[in-house]
Amino acid sequence: MAKDKQKASPEGGQHHASQAHGRPARIDKSLPPDREKLLKLHAEARARRAAAALGSEAFRAAVDELARIEIRIADVDRSATPPRG
């Protein structure tokens, strides 16, 4: 394989340009738009996940909630002036 072609190919552990994976994230606008409140909710959800049995319904629900909160935090950060992160 030519050296130039190897650099552009993700095979063999080579770097490649990032692309969107799967479907776009859905922002849960029912969550508060305040970053500090979101961080508190995130800590509470992490505690519920840690207390739940691995693979249980409570564990999965906490993981789903964490994902929703993290997406909302990213949305709030992007809308800040200037944007965070």
Read off the pLDDT of residues 37-82 as tens digits, 9 standing for 90 and up.
999 999 999 999 999 999 999 999 999 999 999 999 999 999 988 8
Report the C-alpha gap between 30 and 15 in whole angstroms: 38
Give residue 10's pLDDT.
56
- Predicted structure pTM score: 0.71
pLDDT at 27 over 60: yes
Q: Do 52 and 58 form a contact (C-beta atoms < 8 A)?
A: yes
Work out the number of other CB atoms within 10 angstroms of the CB of residue 28: 13
Q: Which residue is it, tokens 């564990």?
A: 59
Q: Do 40 and 78 form a contact (C-beta atoms < 8 A)?
A: no
